[in-house]
Chains A and B, each alone.
Chain A
Amino acid sequence: MRSAFSRSNLVKTLAGGYVPLVLATLIVFLPLAWMALSSFKTPGEIVTTDLRILPQQLYTQNYAEATTTVPFGRFFLNSAIVTFVGSAIKVALAILTAYALVFVRFPFKNAIFVLILVALMVPPQVAILPNYVLIAGMGGKNTLWGIILPGLGTAFGTFLLRQHFKTLPASILEAAELDGAGHWRRLWRIVAPVSLPSIATVALVTIVNEWNDYIWPLIITDRPETMTLPVGLTLLQNSEGNTGSGWGILMAGAVLVILPVLVVFAMLQRYIVAGLTQGSVSN
């Protein structure tokens, strides 16, 4: 069925197929390549009207300056902690809630599911002011727990795993029930192991979102000690200005934020794409 548009003329397809394909890839690739190349250029190579594509030599001073002008190591550590702790808890909560919604008897499950669907459509941006008032009132400003806590409840992960758990054959659980296995053992010995691809999808999407999260950490931190990488990059932007020689340093900072996600994506893109385009395949 893929050939429907193309079988008539293979040569035409090759000419018509490759050019748009290469073009689309280049449009994505070139800005990122420009970022990487510029991060190795000297200020003199950036503040110039005689632009060269490749850097004259591998000038690493931009990285040194990006990581010393602002406490980049601290930002990196904060981002790693927030991402790791936040994602681990979120995924665990999603697994537990989805299991309970599918396999444990409870009277108001449909009403609870509707509340989760409502939460799914509330963007975090709409909730920031009330959450700021609450967390700041609890003393959570400029703390890592203040960054992590409001995002821990997970409607997305619960929704996605619930949909998957519902497709599991009831027979495997009935067998376990006969063996006298309780819910806890049934979850971790049967349901979770056979659902690993779905759990991996939820985990990866959660990790990427936590790492990139911007608006909430931006609002709840104003001291460098607790800033995450994207917020720290804003601080770097403010101190380097947006013109002239600062660009090399800012591109080095952008590489440090973008590269980890790009590497994870390159390795595990199948799961990430599947998770982020969920919902579209069901119709």
Chain B
Amino acid sequence: MTKLDLDRPQPAVVARAPRTRPRWSLRSRRDFLVFLAMALPNLALIAVFTHRPLLANLQYSTLDWTLGASTARVVGLANYVDFFTSDDAPRVLGTTAAFTLFTVGLSMVLGLLVALALNSKVRGTTFARSAVFAPYVLSGVGVGLVWMFIFDPGYGVLAWVLRGLGQSSPQWFNDPQLALTMVTIVYVWKNLGYCAVVYLAGLQSLPGDVMEAAELDGAGSARRFWSIALPLLSPTTFFLLITTILSSLQAFDLIRIMTPLGTGTSTLIYEAYLQAFGAYNRAGYSAAISVILFAILLIVTVVQIRFVERKVHYS
């Protein structure tokens, strides 16, 4: 027995020993090389294809440069001045703001409603949870085509329903505001499940004793929702607000497939794409828009870190 007790601490001592002995430097040199061999390929790829483009965009944004041309002219901040003094700024920033506001607001409100439905104690919630989440993982191109057919003013099922009600179908694809409405609806359909599943996790982690105490005190279900559940869910709400703003600002696939010309739907990301890879090949101007977009993403992320870093631990 005593022998066992004596043995027990020993492995820990042996395991820690090399850290303080002279072998340390040899060992740590070997660890240094092992680390580089394991991590360097990935880190180099991230540096070249993720970090470098941020700096490259800054540089490109000071150029008057046609994509593919071998020469470019340095114009300083002219691209930014062009953007903010032309019609582009109100149009693109307005579209981005409207698209972000409506997609974020609708996915969060509807997501919470769906989460409340999924949180009920009936059979089939597991299946419904998966079903509701499914559109989130589907190809934006495929989903966009399916909904284009549904919205088609001539042969779409929506037009057919409207005809049955004695209405004619609006021109979803030609009218800028309707096009934006259409893409917003499809985007919410595709991303709603994400909000629902995250809200559901939040609802299921609410302290049961608090909810039951409130019930015993005679608080009705509406009162319990507004006064207890919703305030307790505020970290989840904040997390979703940030992540859905970030993903709305990056929405591309649906916009590209449903409104290739960006009619009414030219958000920052889409305008940057159109300027560089559309008809004009204005690489410098496109880079300036990318820099503006990145600045907005950065601000949103910094806000997130400032307000939730205390609660979400990254390490």
Chain A residues at the B interface, C-beta cutoff of 8 Å: 1-8, 13-14, 16-18, 20-21, 23-25, 27-29, 31-32, 34-35, 38, 46-49, 51, 93-94, 96-97, 99-101, 104-107, 112-113, 115-119, 121-123, 125-134, 149-155, 158, 163, 166, 174-175, 177-178, 183, 208, 211-212, 214-215, 218-219, 229-230, 233-234, 237, 242-244, 247, 250-251, 253-254, 257-258, 261-262, 265-266, 269, 272-273, 276-277, 279-283
Question: Shortest CB–CB separation between residue B66 and chain A, in angstroms?
Answer: 12
Q: Which residues of B contact A (CB under 8 A)?
A: 11-12, 14-15, 28, 31-32, 34-35, 38-39, 41-54, 56-57, 60, 67, 113-114, 116-122, 124-125, 127-143, 145-150, 152, 154-155, 157, 160, 163, 173, 189, 193-194, 196-198, 201-202, 204, 206-208, 211-212, 215, 221, 224-225, 235-236, 239-240, 243, 246, 249-250, 252-253, 256-257, 269, 272-273, 276-277, 283, 286-287, 290, 293-294, 297-298, 301, 308, 311-315
> Are A94's CB and B56's CB within 8 A?
no
Main secondary structure of the interface of A (DSSP, over half): helix
> Distance (Å) between the CB of A143 and the closest chain B CB?
16
Secondary structure call for the B interface: helix
From B15, B32, B54, B173, contact of A127 by CB (8 A): B54
In the complex, the number of residue pairs spanning A and B with C-beta atoms less than 8 Å apart equals 334
CA distance A196 to B83 in the complex (A): 49
Q: How long is the Cα–Cα vector from A235 to B23 in the complex, in angstroms?
A: 63
Q: Is the CB of B139 within 8 A of A280?
A: no
Q: Are A21 and B143 in contact (CB under 8 A)?
A: no
Q: Are A5 and B119 in contact (CB under 8 A)?
A: yes
A273-B197, A277-B194 are known contacts. Are A106 and B31 too (CB-CB below 8 A)? yes
Complex: how many Å from CA A130 to CA B269?
A: 15
Q: Which residues of B contact A38 (CB under 8 A)?
A: 149
**Nearest Cβ distance between residue A151 and chain B, in whole angstroms?**
7
Residue in contact with A13 in the complex, picked from B28, B122, B138, CB distance below 8 Å: B122
> Of the candidates B39, B120, B256, which one forms a contact with A16 in the assembled complex, judged by CB atoms under 8 Å apart?
B120
Contact at B160–A49, with CB atoms within 8 Å? yes
- CA A224 – CA B189 in complex, angstroms? 31
Residues on A with beta carbons closer than 8 Å to the beta carbon of B121: 2-3, 6, 13, 17
| Contact B313 A282, beta carbon cutoff 8 Å | yes
Provide the bound-state CA to CA distance between A163 and B132, in Å: 28
Residues A25 and B132 in contact, CB atoms below 8 Å apart: yes
On whether the beta carbons of A14 and B122 are closer than 8 Å, the reply is yes
The 22 sampled A-B contact pairs (Cβ below 8 Å) are A5-B119, A13-B121, A21-B122, A27-B189, A49-B163, A96-B39, A100-B35, A104-B34, A115-B51, A121-B298, A121-B301, A122-B53, A123-B269, A132-B277, A166-B315, A212-B138, A214-B139, A214-B140, A218-B256, A276-B194, A277-B197, A281-B201
In the assembled complex, the CB of A193 is this many whole angstroms from the nearest CB of chain B, namely 18
Let me know if A265 and B15 touch, CB within 8 A: no
Contact A211 B204 (CB under 8 A): no
Give, as a whole number of angstroms, the nearest-CB distance from B107 to chain A: 13
Q: Which residues of B contact A218 (CB under 8 A)?
A: 256
Q: Which 10 residue pairs spanning A and B have beta carbons closest together?
A: A1-B208, A153-B45, A17-B120, A4-B211, A130-B56, A127-B53, A20-B117, A153-B46, A130-B53, A100-B38
Closest approach, in angstroms, between the C-beta of B145 and any C-beta of chain A?
A: 5
Contact for B45 among A32, A93, A183, A283, CB less than 8 A: A93
**A8: which B residues are within 8 A, CB to CB?**
215, 221
| B148 / chain A contacts, CB cutoff of 8 Å | 242
**Closest CB of chain B to A247's CB: distance in Å?**
5
Q: Which residue of the partner chain B has the closest CB to A93? A: B42
Contacts of A273 in B (CB 8 A): 129-130, 133, 197
- Asked if A230 and B250 sit within 8 Å, CB to CB, the answer is no
Residues in A with CB closer than 8 Å to B44 are 153
The chain B residue with its CB closest to the CB of A175 is B11
Of A94, A153, A166, A281, which one neighbours B50 at CB under 8 angstroms? Answer: A153
Question: B57 and A130: CB pair below 8 A?
Answer: yes
Among residues of A, the one whose C-beta sits closest to the C-beta of B50 is A119
A21 to B60, alpha carbons, bound, how many Å? Answer: 50
* CB-defined contacts of A247 to chain B, threshold 8 Å: 149, 152, 155
Cβ contact within 8 Å between A233 and B201: no
List residues of chain B with CB within 8 A of the CB of A166: 315
A106 contacts B35, C-beta separation under 8 Å: yes
Q: Complex Cα distance A166/B249, Å?
A: 32
Within the complex, which residue of B45, B125, B137, B139 is in contact with A152, where a contact is CB–CB below 8 Å? B45
- Docked Cα-Cα span, A25 to B131, in Å, equals 6
* Contact, CB under 8 Å: B208 / A215: no
